[in-house]
Amino acid sequence: MVEELDSRKKRILQAIIQEHIISASPIGSRTLAKKYNLDVSPATIRNEMADLEDLGYLEQPHTSAGRIPSDKGYRYYVDQLVSREQNQEPGVIENIENLYQDLQDVQDIISGMAKMLSNMTHYTAMVSEPKSQISRLKKVEIMQLANNSLLLVLVTDAGMVNNKIINLDQNLLAEKISYINNFLSDKLENKLLANLDSNYLKKVEKELMARLDLSVDLFKQFYNEFEGAFEPGAVKVYIGGTSYILEQPEFNDLKKVKKMLKLLDQEEMLNKIMKTKKVTVFLGLILK
């Protein structure tokens, strides 16, 4: 249950959180009295801070230190105290339009979007590719690279492209490659990726093997590469502005910087974070 705070407690809690975001240090009553126009004495501020601590909105890391916001305090700040005004950043539309004009490849556009967001906010930004399971396969094609090597090209209707090299123990004639391309185009293109599961692909494999004298290893490799290209966990996350981490006071501690960089290097964890269907503020996140 979240208590309704009076106006004075709200102003003091908001000032503490804003100051703590800037300094990442415990905040004392004197600091608040000097920097914020609260119209009350330091003694009154101390009493209000003690009440906020009793209510669970503040914590005191050391007996002689000031207070820091608790998870409950941050949650109240996000839900009740942060302004909801949606002020559009000047030039956002222009930046996005320029991004689309300068870059043609979808992956490059997404990567550029992450960099643009980080430059605008001066924070580290993450942008994920479109979720593959709601996309359709627009194009599938096999091309000969060398005598025993093929290039598998997969393109979705969202513009995502996956290229996979398949190495064979046999050479495929151009006529067979052309037949395979026509067959796969008929069986796979314009279908939802979510429907191209293992059962469906095995049926396609069985039918193709019945029509052509192909190595079992060929379709096995094709099947493995195709299945891995658009699986739910394979959505790539693009990161921009990792250097901005160093500008945050919380990361003056080298150990914290190492933990954060380690997290940003874990694609599986980033995928889980980015899979949320709505904007979520994470409070009390522990880096292990």
Q: How far is CA 262 from the centre of its chain?
A: 15
What percentage of residues in the chain have a pLDDT greater than 70?
A: 77
Task: Please give the Cα distance from 175 to 221 (Å, whole number).
Answer: 20
What percentage of residues in the chain have a pLDDT greater than 90?
A: 15
Task: Please give the Cα distance from 234 to 77 (Å, whole number).
Answer: 35
Say if strands 125-128 and 237-240 run parallel, antiparallel, or are unpaired.
Answer: antiparallel
Q: What is the mean pLDDT of residues 235-259?
A: 81
Q: Angle at Cα 169 formed by Cα 164 and Cα 175, nearest 5°?
A: 75
Strands (E), the chain: 58-59, 68-69, 125-128, 137-146, 149-156, 161-167, 237-240
Query: Any residues with CB less than 8 A from the CB of 162 and at least 6 apart, and which?
Result: 153, 154, 155, 229, 230
Residue ranges, comma separated, of all CATH 3.30.390.60 domains in the chain are 133-234
As given in the structure block, the two tokens for residue 125 are 């930004």
For the segment 264-276, what is each residue's pLDDT rounded down to a tens digit?
A: 888 777 777 766 6
Question: What's domain 7-81's architecture?
Answer: Orthogonal Bundle (1.10)
Residue ranges, comma separated, of all CATH 1.10.10.10 domains in the chain are 7-81
CATH number of 133-234: 3.30.390.60
Residue 284 confidence class, pLDDT cut points 50, 70, 90: low
As given in the structure block, the two tokens for residue 118 are 């980080």
> 0.75 cut: is pTM over it?
no
Residue 234 reports pLDDT greater than 90? no
